[in-house]
Amino acid sequence: MSIEVNNLTHIYHRGTPLETVALRDISMEVPDGGWVSIVGHTGSGKSTLAQHLDALLLPDEGSVLVDGLSTDVKKDLRKIRRKVGLVFQYPEQQLFAETVREELSFGPKNWGEIDDIDRTLAEVMEQVGLDESYLERSPFKLSGGEKRRVAIASVLAVRPSYLVLDEPTAGLDASGRHRLVELLSRIHSDGTAVIMVTHDLEIALDLSDRIIALEKGTIACQGSPEEIVLSLESRPVSGLVLPDICKIWLGVKNRGMEIPFSCDPIYLA
Ligand code: ADP
């Protein structure tokens, strides 16, 4: 079970003067239960790639397969969207209902999964760390961090196998980022695969099994955090600056000493 992207190309406004090749020949894989981060400069194609993973966008060339289902097959699109949940960059792009309860119930109702809906809501509220008093509140009157939790909960309410998050830490302060990272780690350890779009290389290095670095719509490098650090040291990618701790690690490694890789989570400070 996995998401497989093969030679994906995406072109906006094809055949017009506004034509933009946002992704060119991208191949990558997200294993079931894994944590993959997509990093890169603004405009490198991260959001476009994220939107392909749940078939919100469809390939101009190449293919996207989710647990063997192809986004090329019209009748499979619904099943793919059921398996992959996408959390948009800004909660305001996603939230629409008058109450949190209504917001969280929308997905299960849409998929016809209304048995025990109260229990599902209680479970996801607990998972995202909000008490049940929030259910009757307006999502629009919550703080930025709380809105983001509701947006994540509304996607989790249909129990996707893969959770795609577009810049989940954008706009959060250090403690908000820390709490969000804790939340995502918990969701991941509960068995959901996480695909995180981020410009925050430090968080990506610290949490991911695998990182894909995009540059102008192509893959500049991909691999484990260790491989990405080594690759970025020998070939920098625009917009990705290695954290100081990684440079220290490289210094130690270059002197022939092996230490287990861990990018010190400075954001916890
Ligand atoms: P990132 O998420 O890394 O900032 P995007 O995927 O948003 O990158 O954008 C990749 C490229 O595609 C950029 O050149 C951007 O201007 C262009 N692009 C993104 N969305 C659209 C769109 N809806 N219409 C036209 N061009 C777009």
The protein residue with its alpha carbon nearest to ligand 1, atom 20, reads: 48
| Sign of the Cα pseudo-torsion (217, 32, 85, 229, in order) | negative
The protein residue with its alpha carbon nearest to ligand 1, atom 24, reads: 12
pLDDT (0 to 100) of residue 269: 33
Measure the CA–CA gap between 79 and 160, rounded to whole angstroms. 11
Considering the chain, what percentage of its residues have pLDDT values greater than 90? 72
**Structural contact between residues 72 and 99, judged by C-beta atoms closer than 8 angstroms:** no
Q: Over the stretch 160-171, which tens digit does the pLDDT of each residue have?
A: 999 999 999 888
Taking every pair of Cα atoms in the chain, the longest distance, rounded to a whole number of angstroms, is 60
pLDDT at residue 268 greater than cutoff 80: no
Distance of CA 4 to the CA centre of its chain: 15
Ligand 1, CB within 6 Å, residue ranges: 12-13, 20, 22, 40, 42-48
Task: Name the residue of 38, 48, 212 to mutate for ligand 1: max ligand atoms within 8 A of Cβ.
Answer: 48
pLDDT (0 to 100) of residue 95: 93
Confidence of residue 263 (pLDDT cuts 50, 70, 90): very low
Q: Looking at the whole model, is its pTM more than 0.95?
A: no
Task: Provide the mean pLDDT of the chain.
Answer: 90
Distance 20 CA to ligand 1 centre (A): 8
Distance 64 CA to ligand 1 centre (A): 19
pLDDT at residue 221 greater than cutoff 90: yes
pLDDT at residue 4 greater than cutoff 70: yes
Confidence of residue 53 (pLDDT cuts 50, 70, 90): very high
pLDDT at residue 260 greater than cutoff 80: no
Tell me the ipTM for this assembly.
0.99
pLDDT (0 to 100) of residue 36: 98
Confidence of residue 115 (pLDDT cuts 50, 70, 90): confident
Of 108, 23, 95, the residue nearest 57 (C-alpha): 23
pLDDT (0 to 100) of residue 267: 37
Measure the CA–CA gap between 129 and 135, rounded to whole angstroms. 12
